[in-house]
Structure 1
Amino acid sequence: MTNKFEEPYILVCTSKSQMLFSKDLLDKEGIENDLIPTPKGFGGVCTTAIKFDKKFEQKVREIIKKNNIEYEGIYSLKDKYKYNLSEIFNMNISDTLKDIVKKVEANIELNKEEIKYLLEVENEEYDALIRMADIIRKECVGDRIEIRAAIEFSNYCRKNCNYCGVRRDNKIKRYRMTEEEIIDEVEKLYKVGIKTVILQSGEDPYYTTDRMLSIIKEIKQKFRMGITLSIGEREEEEYRLFSDAGVNNYLLKIETASRRLFELIHPDDDYDIRVKHTRLIKEAGMRAASGGMIGLPTQTIDEIAEDIIFQRDFGIHMIGFGPFLPAKGTPYENCKPGDLKLSLKVVAVTRIVCQHVFLPATTAIATLHPDGQTLALKAGANTIMLISTPPSLRDNYQIYSNKNMVDLSFAIKSTRDAKRKLPKYLNYDYLKELGYEIEDELI
């Protein structure tokens, strides 16, 4: 896992460039540090802080003064935000859960055994878990849903993951979108008011660094939208070029933090390389997005707890946990899908453990159960990803079978049913012209 700090402090800079400059200076001085999502109470949900040990505080202050670093402040994590969870104690819960709630209320990190306990709660303790996650969600990210949109621009993949419907050996109709086709789809999202587009594909070498940079730069120049890339493992220099071109986030899922299980489901991937790339993405200046599948064949509760700890300890900004769903034509096509209730527990526990991050109500959970997305929003999730691949291509991008093609209408319904609010940035006048029915209380 990442570095451990006896008495952790954070440096919060005023911009991404100042943060990266500061990290480079600390690295050169041999000061052990890590990049983490800025904790609640010290900065916005989209920002990154530099974590270091108190023993280096004076040296860090000297470095930022000498180099005229623009920063918000240096803070002790002893002063972390405290939550009011008093209503949870009035529920019918065990002394063990009460002790865990006290730690959460004081914002003290939970250990693996405590996380496992939360993953196994039932009955009223399950209700307490969901309510606790919802309180923390509201405190950290508010009631408004973040809506992003994915364009799955290629289903070619050089990898052969055992669970994936677009794996190299699967006999499916392959496609690639041209740059012009991608930009046309992005323009549609821009008109709707979407602020972040996710460019997703298999690991397709056809899309070279130059091709990707051309697409990225055109999106930035024409639409000034946020960009998330999800195109698999790339070279270290590519990550830096993508970041410099304006990519904000990079989604590279670990899928499981268990080395045993990772090697079982990824016959041509290396666990240590995947972990290394997670670090490289952060060090390039992009926000790291990760996550995993719940209910993989042979997966244990202990391994799921490790998955959540991985996301916390690696400072992941957007964490997508969803149920495993079998895909036709894969070695796992006849395996049992993940469990809805366990998937919701994982969403809730991840919110409690990681707090000030984006948690998607995944397309997978919306596929597993018609109300899955709404239930995930009630369990601590705050983000919905629309499927914005051209309709003629969508059925050919099936990471798992029978995927729910979550569109804006579905997202609006999920938001309404969860009693949440839509983002302010959508173009509501245009949406109403298109025929969407959106009540004022959702806005």
Structure 2
Amino acid sequence: MNNDNQKVIIVCGTTTEMLKADSIIRDNHIEVDLVPTPSQYGSICSTSIALEEVNKITAERILEKIKIKYNIYPYRVRKLLGLMESLKKAKLSTAFQVIMNKIEMGHELTKDDIVVLLNTEEPKEIETLYSVADRLRKEIVGDIVEIRGAIEFSNYCKKSCNYCGIRKGCDLPHRYRMDEDEIMEAVHQLVEMGIRTVILQSGEDDYYDTEMLCGLLKKIKKVTKMGITLSIGERSRFDYLLLREAGANNFLLKIETTNRKIFESIHPDNDYDQRIQCAKWLKELGYVNGSGNMIGLPGQKIEDIAEDILYFKEMGIHMIGIGPFIPAPGTPYEDLPTGSVEMTLKAIAVTRIVCKNVFLPATTALASIDPDGQRKALEVGANTIMLISTPEKYRTSYQLYKNKNMIDIESALEAVKNSNRKLPKYLKLPNKEGIQ
């Protein structure tokens, strides 16, 4: 779709109606794109249909025939009015000021703009970058930090990713698979805390076939009504469809890097094009689509990180996990250096500026190399924390990298408090006093 043309946004009442509208509009040869709903028109986790304004009347006629609930809005840019005025006395480079002016006016940033922001080492410019990202976070998604719980239900994996501590062939002390009763017990513990979304994560383990997973999802939905995020790797489009119909709302499938050569070097038995195809399928099927990247991969350049951020924007990703590379014992990369905390924070900040109405986790990986990492991430644009809710007897066996921080509710509360953010009202915790 030509970004220079005026666009409109179609917001439907439900995901089912959105997918139906998207399909029939495409069938009428109108070019559309599925995008995270702009914050002024809908929630952070919803998807809308973007199309050029010249096709608005035709689209309306099509939608009236199928009788679904919808609204059409202008695709307004989000401006940061007063930004340049507030920076008058700041000593910023000309190139940095030009980009700040683009952000104030709501103009899209180019790859070159993103590279400038990521490259800056001037303390005042870094401070300004973080401040702008935090202001956008506050205006777009507010002060509430979403709390979610991850259950790592299997550390078996058929893939040999060079960076991963549960890769096939890695000499782990203990491989495990949780059965349905164990998973449900962990889910119920999250329900007791008031948490509304569970993340079911594993290696790429074919033991849990689609039929087994669908049965589990249906049971979780029926018993708890929770939102469900899956992070189980690459599957077929039909599998993704069945899992969606069984109750999966969200899917996290990280790209890790959009540099094809680096992707192929770190994933010796994965196919880059297949990973992209899976992301497209998830988008088409109406998932709240998750992705992310690692900062500090071998051979990675600033330009690669910029391309990653543009990929998140162009793919319409809703949840973006950005964390530092951390070497894992027993892997081909075990002796490589850890990724930079500062570059990770800059990438989070720029992603908030570019992608806007998205979930940005304060990642476990960041907390694993910096005890204060989650607080820092929340202060530069992040708005989500994922608890490690795997049963204690399995936790140390799900080591994707060394010295993994087992984020619990106490550490999450501390990060929220220290960043002057707010907890969601749905949490049922006796020790959340002192935090709004």
TM-score exceeds 0.5: yes
Contact 2:47 2:286 in 1 (8 A): no
Cα deviation 1:243-280 (Å, max 9, x = unaligned): 12221100000000111111111111111111111010
Partner of 1:267: 268
Partner of 1:22: 21
Cα deviation 1:322-376 (Å, max 9, x = unaligned): 0000001111000000001001000000000001100000000000111111101
Q: CA deviation at 1:66?
A: 1.3
Aligned AA (1:127): E
* Cα distance change, pair 4–328 in 1 and its aligned pair in 2 (3 A): farther
Partner of 2:407: 406
Partner of 1:212: 213
Return the alpha-carbon distance in structure 1 between the equivalents of residues 424 and 90 of structure 2: 33
2:155 aligned with 1:155: yes
Aligned AA (2:110): N
Runs of 4+ in 1 over 6 A off after TM superposition: none
Cα deviation 1:217-267 (Å, max 9, x = unaligned): 111111100000000011111111111222110000000011111111111
Partner of 1:337: 338
Q: Percent identity?
A: 49
Return the alpha-carbon distance in structure 1 between the equivalents of residues 253 and 105 of structure 2: 32
Aligned AA (2:55): F
Cα deviation 1:111-169 (Å, max 9, x = unaligned): 00000000011210000000000000000111110000100000010111010001011
SS at match of 1:24: helix
Structure 2 alignment gaps of length 5 or more: none
Alignment of 1:342-361 (within 5 A): 342-361=343-362
TM-score after normalising by structure 1: 0.95
Return the alpha-carbon distance in structure 2 between the equivalents of residues 338 and 95 of structure 1: 29
Return the alpha-carbon distance in structure 2 between the equivalents of residues 62 and 118 of structure 1: 44
Partner of 1:324: 325
Q: Which deviates further from its counterpart, 240-249 or 280-289? A: 240-249
Partner of 1:39: 38
Partner of 2:427: 426
Partner of 2:135: 135
Return the alpha-carbon distance in structure 1 between the equivalents of residues 89 and 251 of structure 2: 41
Contact 1:40 1:80 in 2 (8 A): no
Partner of 1:83: 80
Cα deviation 1:151-192 (Å, max 9, x = unaligned): 000001011101000101101121000011000000000000
Contact 2:387 2:407 in 1 (8 A): yes
Return the alpha-carbon distance in structure 1 between the equivalents of residues 146 and 106 of structure 2: 25
CA RMSD in angstroms, aligned pairs only? 1.2
Contact 2:39 2:141 in 1 (8 A): no
Aligned AA (1:257): T
Partner of 1:66: 65
Partner of 2:146: 146
Return the alpha-carbon distance in structure 2 between the equivalents of residues 276 and 379 of structure 1: 31
Return the alpha-carbon distance in structure 2 between the equivalents of residues 91 and 234 of structure 1: 50
Structure 1 alignment gaps of length 5 or more: none
Aligned AA (2:60): R
Aligned AA (1:439): E
Return the alpha-carbon distance in structure 2 between the equivalents of residues 89 and 417 of structure 1: 29
* Cα distance change, pair 420–364 in 1 and its aligned pair in 2 (3 A): same
Alignment of 1:235-384 (within 5 A): 235-384=236-385
Q: CA deviation at 1:5?
A: 4.4
Contact 2:352 2:360 in 1 (8 A): yes
SS at match of 1:132: helix
Return the alpha-carbon distance in structure 1 between the equivalents of residues 248 and 303 of structure 2: 35
* Cα distance change, pair 40–92 in 1 and its aligned pair in 2 (3 A): farther
Kindly tell me the number of residue pairs found equivalent between the two proteins.
431
Return the alpha-carbon distance in structure 1 between the equivalents of residues 61 and 3 of structure 2: 20
